[in-house]
Amino acid sequence: MTTITDIALALGITPSTVSRALAGNPRVKEQTRLAVEKKAAEMGYERNIVASNLRKGRSNIVGIVVPRVRREFFANFIGGAEDVLARAGYNVIICQSHENLDDEIKALKALKNYRAAGVIISHSIESQDGGHIRDIMGNLPIVQFDRVFPDLPGAKVVGANCDGAYQATKHLIEKGYKRIGTIAGYMSCMAFVERLAGYRMALEDAGLRYDGSLVYPESILYESGKESARKAIADGCDALYCCGDYAALGAMDAAREAGLSIPDDFGIVGTADEFWAAIMTPSLSSLGQHPFDMGQAAARAFLDGRTGTEVIPMELHARQSSNKH
């Protein structure tokens, strides 16, 4: 592997000049810069990024910390972020917290240790606040997305959760459902808290009473969605706004098992607009997020050093599962 010293030797100059030349430092003469660049190309030089990182005390690595890569939302987010970060010369290290505080801390420490240029994170369900993030990362740029701690400074990219849930709930009301519950997700996440607020607002704006007993703040996995839906049916609900499509799917199955027909006896709206929502039968109405766009937005927020909160719109895709006649 050729080093700047090799180039310097070949040209009869010093490594420092080579370094500056390659960095485009205006202190080196045009002529020598060209000579250096030519020689470097000739010798197949590639900057040793590890040495560079050590000396500079920071790397061109951006860490992305998510609960799980396998989840479609996060995979798409990563896709979007990687696209714009790679174009800007950054490399992306992926860390999974597995919804687990310890793993999250471990990941953040590893990133700190790599002198990552910044971290893009959606915190685990176990994390109660952003203290550990701030403690570990110090004043490194942090971009939070989807699940964000408002107290933590730095950029944030979130879906229009409140507005989206409002739309979804309003849609159910307009379709004529009378007793609408919600599978609300864990209240430790802002995203879910906001959706609940949107749900409530829609009810109240329509002159309906908000009833806390129709809020099922469980996980949004298939099984717990099904379980919550059973309770909702027992509680007399005729519709559910679900904060996740898998929970919505569970709710569908619960309704069917209870002998209810969808959408006439029971209406359902999910969230995320997974690919399959449109192709199943009955097709599932769902509130679409834009994970890929969010990833791009988060990456750009990092690159530009922006610091506010960016809200990515969500739109309702009304389909059969909520189309009461």
Partner DNA sequence: CACAAATATACAAACGTTTGCAGGATTCTC
Partner DNA sequence: GAGAATCCTGCAAACGTTTGTATATTTGTG
316 sits in which H/E element: strand 315-317
- Cα–Cα distance between 90 and 113 in angstroms, integer? 17
DSSP conformation letters of 188-232:
TSHHHHHHHHHHHHHHHHTTPPP-GGGEE----SHHHHHHHHHHH
Angle (deg, nearest 10), helices 30-42 and 4-11:
120
93 binds a second copy (CB under 8 A): yes
Site pattern 23..52 for DNA (x: CB under 7 A)? x--xxxxxxx------------x-xx--xx
In the sheet that 215-216 helps form, which strands lie side by side, from edge to edge? 215-216, 180-183, 239-242, 267-272, 285-288, 315-317
Site pattern 1..20 for DNA (x: CB under 7 A)? x-xxx--x---xxxxxx-xx
256 sits in which H/E element: helix 245-257
317 binds a second copy (CB under 8 A): no
126 binds a second copy (CB under 8 A): no
Task: Tell me which stretch binds a second copy (CB under 8 A): 20-28, 93-101, 154-162, 303-311.
Answer: 93-101
Task: Tell me which stretch binds a second copy (CB under 8 A): 18-26, 143-151, 190-198, 268-276.
Answer: 268-276
* Size of the residue set binding DNA (CB under 7 A): 31
Residue 88 beta carbon to DNA: minimum distance, rounded to whole angstroms? 17
Residue 54 beta carbon to DNA: minimum distance, rounded to whole angstroms? 4
Residue 242 is given by DSSP the state E
321 binds a second copy (CB under 8 A): no
Residue 51 beta carbon to DNA: minimum distance, rounded to whole angstroms? 3
* Size of the residue set binding a second copy (CB under 8 A): 42
Nearest Cα residue to 120 out of 161, 160, 152: 152
Which does residue 119 touch among a second copy, DNA, none (CB within 5 to 8 A, set by kind)? none
55 binds DNA (CB under 7 A): yes
Contact 318, 288 (CB under 8 A): no
Strand pairing class (285-288; 239-242) = unpaired
Task: Tell me which stretch binds a second copy (CB under 8 A): 204-212, 235-243, 275-283, 302-310.
Answer: 275-283
Residues making contact with DNA (CB under 7 A) = 1, 3-5, 8, 12-17, 19-20, 22-23, 26-32, 45, 47-48, 51-52, 54-57
